[in-house]
Amino acid sequence: MIKKIPWWAGGIAMSLLLLFSFSLLGADRPIGASTYVPYFAGIIFDLDPEKYTYLKEIHNAGSWEGVMLLGVLFGAFLNAMFITKTFRFTIVPAAWKRYKNNSVASRLLWSFVSGFFLIIGARLAGGCTSGHFLSGMTQTAISSMIFGGVVMVTLVVTGKLFYKDSKNV
């Protein structure tokens, strides 16, 4: 059973899925993956959707992505259990150990903080890697190119500043 596909196969498959999702046969809409987070936050914290402008604005998109997310979780769990066999409980990623530290507390704290800001950033920009990068740039949207450029630069600058090069340790 195939456990890994090369980058080009992943790229071709993703482009076909994007096109299918855009098409009238598919969902007639782009794939996005960050609106579901405030949508679920609204449900979990029992916020009145009539009272919060944002929840009203994202009601439809959040529902769509919410169902998609359930599909992602379900599919990835099945794959991890039966095909890729990648299911296991871990806390500190291998590369974090190599280039940052071995501390569970450090990784969990940074995860919580970066998870928090990841969503703030995505919602400020109106999209994430899926909605802006993949779906937006596929439409040659200028907004998505601006977002993509800023994210690429910030990602690499942060990578340089935040991690250490193991060779110099």
Answer for which of 82, 101, 102, 122 binds other proteins (CB under 8 A) is: 122
The end-to-end CA distance of the chain, in Å, is 39
Q: How far is the CB of 100 from other proteins (least distance, A)?
A: 9
Q: How far is the CB of 97 from other proteins (least distance, A)?
A: 10
SS3 165: coil
Burial class (CB in 10 A: 0-12, 13-18, 19+), 23: exposed
Answer for which of 102, 103, 111, 169 binds other proteins (CB under 8 A) is: 111
The number of angstroms, rounded, from the C-alpha of 55 to the middle of its chain's C-alpha atoms is 20
Encoded one letter per residue, x for contact with other proteins by CB under 8 A and - for no contact, window 36-75 reads xxxxxxxxxxxxxxx-xxxx---xx-xxx-xxxxxxxxxx
Q: Does 102 bind other proteins (CB under 8 A)?
A: no
* Phi, psi (degrees; rounded to nearest 5) at 123: -75, -30
Q: How far is the CB of 102 from other proteins (least distance, A)?
A: 13
Q: Does 82 bind other proteins (CB under 8 A)?
A: no
